């Protein structure tokens, strides 16, 4: 059975690249430029959520991570924060993200992080 990934990014090109690479790696990806899939997280039931900290016109990804981790229904869900920020390791720690991917990222590293957190 395919592992499910909810992928929320602020940049359409990056979203398309990540989506394509992860699908080629055998993941079932729900890609989005908004946090809309997070509202349906119980229906999607992903193995891992990969979310950017900056989502245009919406709440910060780190805030979404914190909300997921503070909700008993989603606290065990693996969440990976992505950002171009040089403070990303600390931001990920502060919001209880399971992991992080710094942008610009190496494709192989991104795949490794997602695979590790989808286990």
Over pLDDT 70: what percentage of the chain?
100
Residue-by-residue DSSP string for 94-114: HTT-SEEEESS--HHHHHHHH
**Entry pTM:** 0.97
What is the helix (H) or strand (E) element at residue 117, kind and residue range? helix 107-118
Does the pLDDT of residue 48 top 90, yes or no? yes
**79-104 residue pLDDT tens:** 999 999 999 999 999 999 999 999 99
Q: In this predicted structure, what is the pLDDT of residue 26?
A: 98
pLDDT for 92: 98
Q: How far is CA 5 from the centre of its chain?
A: 8
Reduce the DSSP state of residue 52 to 3 states and report it.
strand
Which domains, ranges and CATH numbers included, belong to the chain?
A: 4-118 (3.40.50.2300)
Q: What is the mean pLDDT of residues 61-69?
A: 98
Which CA distances in Å does 75 have to 34, 49, 67, 69, 97? 21, 12, 9, 4, 10
Per-residue pLDDT averaged across 23-46, rounded?
A: 97
């Amino acid at each position: 059975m395919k592992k499910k990934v909810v992928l929320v990014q602020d940049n359409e090109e990056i979203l398309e690249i990540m989506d394509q690479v992860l699908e080629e790696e055998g993941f079932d990806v729900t890609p989005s430029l908004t946090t809309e899939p997070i509202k349906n997280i119980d229906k999607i039931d992903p193995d891992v959520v990969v979310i950017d900290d900056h989502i245009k016109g919406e709440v910060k990804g780190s805030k979404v991570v914190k909300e997921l981790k503070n909700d008993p229904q989603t606290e065990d869900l693996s969440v990976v924060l992505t950002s171009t920020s040089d403070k990303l390791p600390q931001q990920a720690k502060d919001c209880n993200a399971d992991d992080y991917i710094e942008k610009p990222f190496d494709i192989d590293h991104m795949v490794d992080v997602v695979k590790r957190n989808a286990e």
